[in-house]
């Protein structure tokens, strides 16, 4: 009598055979070899439970009333997806060569002689279980790996989010120590982007990159940045340099996100009619993220208190943005912005 290895004993062997004698014989052979999980199925028309049973190998009779072995094979390989990879060994008593070929064609893996030598049956079943076990290990390994990658990706995403938020806060620290303006500009920009029909990835990227639009203010002296009164032309020129300082701080990255942030920093004060600053671009020459952030930035500045002005009521701010379509702002971006306002998505809790 041959005994199978310990690690295979818990694997599930299913025998489908209408004849009780054969089922009992198989059960005895398998039990003596040390198999611990054996399920015998007499009625081949009732295979609904087969997927739940989760077999590791199936020993299948061909001649059965109701539903023969070929039909069962077809079902296992066709309509029962979780069983597609389970090895099927077909009992052959008086099976003709065409029948053998048909069984192989339908996905049988091997044959068991009937009445068979116990040793040969056990060895064949064992060999298929060995492969089955490797397959399962590989499957769980790759699933594990996939989960790990997913978890790490999320961690990385969150770490980046965290860094971006802190960087944005640093950039606004002297004139808005809560950093709320930067977050709001990010959120409104992403909503405008969504209404413009941009893809989900790009929308999310704008939300994350836009808060860095004023990072160049780090390089502007307090005497100018925090000056309560009107700036002189010279001071204003220094103030305007924040777009180039910002772009140079963000330049040279290989990350798509940073590249977008760089573009936004450089172009968020451009104007549709070409009278803005940065590179002095106009119309479509201005990168779309820059055109979007321009609207979100101005709108947010209008509806909040600033050292030099009080907050405007929302309707007045919206009217101002609308009136600047085609002048300061890209008309299509303004249109998308108005949809954001209409759907009251412009209200942001931070
Ligand atoms: Fe700015």
User: How many angstroms separate the alpha carbon of residue 216 from the centre of ligand 1?
Assistant: 8
Query: Do 17 and 62 form a contact (C-beta atoms < 8 A)?
Result: no
pLDDT at 159: 94
What is d(CA 43, CA 258) in angstroms, rounded to the nearest whole number?
Answer: 64
User: How many angstroms separate the alpha carbon of residue 341 from the centre of ligand 1?
Assistant: 22
User: How many angstroms separate the alpha carbon of residue 296 from the centre of ligand 1?
Assistant: 11
Would the pTM count as exceeding 0.75? no
User: How many angstroms separate the alpha carbon of residue 315 from the centre of ligand 1?
Assistant: 23
What is d(CA 279, CA 269) in angstroms, rounded to the nearest whole number?
Answer: 9
What letter would DSSP give residue 213?
T
Quick one: pLDDT band at residue 177, thresholds 50, 70, 90? low
Quick one: pLDDT band at residue 349, thresholds 50, 70, 90? low
pLDDT at 113: 81
Residue 199: phi and psi, rounded to 5, are -70, 160
Quick one: pLDDT band at residue 350, thresholds 50, 70, 90? very low
DSSP run (H or E) holding 133: helix 118-172
User: How many angstroms separate the alpha carbon of residue 119 from the centre of ligand 1?
Assistant: 82
User: How many angstroms separate the alpha carbon of residue 166 from the centre of ligand 1?
Assistant: 18
- Name, in order, each residue with C-beta under 8 angstroms of 1's C-beta and a sequence gap of 6 or more: 32, 33, 118
User: How many angstroms separate the alpha carbon of residue 267 from the centre of ligand 1?
Assistant: 9
User: How many angstroms separate the alpha carbon of residue 287 from the centre of ligand 1?
Assistant: 15
User: How many angstroms separate the alpha carbon of residue 243 from the centre of ligand 1?
Assistant: 7
User: How many angstroms separate the alpha carbon of residue 191 from the centre of ligand 1?
Assistant: 19
User: How many angstroms separate the alpha carbon of residue 212 from the centre of ligand 1?
Assistant: 9
β-strands 12-16, 37-41: how paired? parallel
DSSP letter string over 150-168?
HHHHHHHHHHHHHHHHHHH
pLDDT at 346: 59
Q: What percent of the chain has pLDDT over 70?
A: 97
pLDDT at 258: 95
Quick one: pLDDT band at residue 6, thresholds 50, 70, 90? very high
User: How many angstroms separate the alpha carbon of residue 268 from the centre of ligand 1?
Assistant: 6
User: How many angstroms separate the alpha carbon of residue 276 from the centre of ligand 1?
Assistant: 12
User: How many angstroms separate the alpha carbon of residue 264 from the centre of ligand 1?
Assistant: 9
User: How many angstroms separate the alpha carbon of residue 214 from the centre of ligand 1?
Assistant: 5
Residue 308: pLDDT above 50? yes
Quick one: pLDDT band at residue 347, thresholds 50, 70, 90? low
Residue 308: phi and psi, rounded to 5, are -100, 0
What is d(CA 106, CA 84) in angstroms, rounded to the nearest whole number?
Answer: 11
What is d(CA 277, CA 92) in angstroms, rounded to the nearest whole number?
Answer: 85
User: How many angstroms separate the alpha carbon of residue 342 from the centre of ligand 1?
Assistant: 26
Q: What is the mean pLDDT of residues 144-173?
A: 93
The residue behind tokens 């076990």 is 133
User: How many angstroms separate the alpha carbon of residue 39 from the centre of ligand 1?
Assistant: 72
Q: What is the mean pLDDT of residues 109-130?
A: 89
* Integer-rounded Cα radius of gyration of the chain: 35
Q: Classify 163 in phi/psi space as left (phi over 0), alpha (psi -120 to 50) or beta.
A: alpha
């Amino acid at each position: 009598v041959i005994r199978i290895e310990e690690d295979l004993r818990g694997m599930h062997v299913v025998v489908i055979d209408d004849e009780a004698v054969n089922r009992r014989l198989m059960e005895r052979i398998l039990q003596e070899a040390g198999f611990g999980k054996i399920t015998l199925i007499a009625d081949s028309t009732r295979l609904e439970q087969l997927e739940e049973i989760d077999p590791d190998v199936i020993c299948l009779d061909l001649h059965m009333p109701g539903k023969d072995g070929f039909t069962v094979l077809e079902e296992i390989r066709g309509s029962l997806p979780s069983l597609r990879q389970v090895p099927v060994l077909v009992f052959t008593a008086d099976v003709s060569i065409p029948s053998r070929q048909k069984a192989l064609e339908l996905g049988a893996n091997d044959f068991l002689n009937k009445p068979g030598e116990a040793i040969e049956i056990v060895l064949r079943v064992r060999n298929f279980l060995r492969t089955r076990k490797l397959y399962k290990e590989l499957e769980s390994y790759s699933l594990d790996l996939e989960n790990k990658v997913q978890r790490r990706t999320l961690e990385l995403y969150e770490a980046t989010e965290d860094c971006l938020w802190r960087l944005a806060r640093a950039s606004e620290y002297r004139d808005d120590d809560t950093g709320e303006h930067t977050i709001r500009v990010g959120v409104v920009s992403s909503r405008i982007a969504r209404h413009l029909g941009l893809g989900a990835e790009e929308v999310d990227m704008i939300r994350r990159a836009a808060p860095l639009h004023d990072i160049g203010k780090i390089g502007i002296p307090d005497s100018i940045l925090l000056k309560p009164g009107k700036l002189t032309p010279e001071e204003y020129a220094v103030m305007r340099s924040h777009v180039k300082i910002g772009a140079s701080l963000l330049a040279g990255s290989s990350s798509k996100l940073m590249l977008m942030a760089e573009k936004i920093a450089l172009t968020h004060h451009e104007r549709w009619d070409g009278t803005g600053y940065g590179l002095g671009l106009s119309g479509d020459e201005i990168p779309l993220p820059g055109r979007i952030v321009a609207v979100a930035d101005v709108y947010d500045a209008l509806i909040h208190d600033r050292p030099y002005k009080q907050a405007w009521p929302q309707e007045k701010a919206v009217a101002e943005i609308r009136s600047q379509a085609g002048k300061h702002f890209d008309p299509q971006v303004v249109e998308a912005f108005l949809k954001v306002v209409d759907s009251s998505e412009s209200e942001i809790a931070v």
